Structure 1
Amino acid sequence: MAENTAVDDNTYMIKKNKTAMLDLLISAKKEGLIDDIGIQEEVDTFMFEGHDTTASGLTFCFMLLAHHKDVQEKIFAEIKEIVGDSKRSITIEDLSKMKYLERCIKESLRLYPPVHLISRKLKEDMKLSQKFAMMEMKVAMAEVLREFTLEPVTHPDDIRIIADVVLRNDGPIEVTFVKRQ
């Protein structure tokens, strides 16, 4: 939803009305849809548990890229095309242009899904969209690949999956980071 705001007689700004997550939770509490404990659980999930899943996804993605130099170099070429030799931070606009990187991340998530099961009963169809997590992963991958090439240490055949709440390996997954010249 957008709202027109007059700046002066000839200029209008379009301001998007966005509601913060906490505001949504407080509104849901007022409507009796959630209590204080529910709000705390939702905040904990967003603030803390999301980092475990992102870390797991990044770990497996780094390992896979270390074993696929051609894919790693295509991602690097895409990043260079978008930001050039600039050392500036990657922007949201840059992220939206990183289509190949996103496809690679999604393939890694398909092979090694950090959240391999969801145990909720839905009453209606729902489209899941972990956009924040994807943006986090794209920034992390892009910033690392701008500065380093990845060399394999742990091989996919060495992986022994532990099906915990978040998908993990039984032991460390190691990758060597080599500074780009």
Structure 2
Amino acid sequence: MTRSRKYLYNLPNAEKIKQVALEILDYELNLDRVVSDKNEIKIEILSLETEMISLDNSENPQKIEKSRERLSKLSNDILRTDNEIYDLKKQILNLQSIVDEEIREGLSHLFHQAKSGIDEAQQALVKHQTLANEAQNRLAKSSGNEAQKYRDEWILNVEKIIKDEEQIKKSEKQLEAIKRVYKLEFGSK
């Protein structure tokens, strides 16, 4: 069995990855069946060869000829199963490549989304810091009711600054998680 990859459910293309994974499973089950069939054919070939060795050529020529014909047919069956095994393995590898490409695409999408989140939060942070500084300067120059208004405005902007900083930290954590997943899946980035 494969390792648990629960993080794949968070990818935007998780459904497509799941569909391809189910196709891979179908091919793997068919491969197991064909390999089992091949093993049964090999056992039958060994049995026939053993039987032919024990027969004397002069005793039963018809039985020997039938055994040879059966061996020939079984040899063809082995070749057919070998070709089928090759084709199934090739299909599995192709589908695994598709899954890898879909995972890369999904991780790339999440990476750009997190990067965009950081950029937006940083722009908002600069804006709110400017507004907070302006409100603080007006607060320092004002008195009475006006001071209360500028104080409230300054507090509101400081709260926004805190939220922007939290958003930046959250997006940075997402970027790091995406990098870890990429490294786990593909070995680098």
In terms of Rg, which structure is larger?
2
Structure with greater helix percent: 2
**TM bucket normalised to smaller:** under 0.3
TM-score normalised to structure 1 length: 0.25
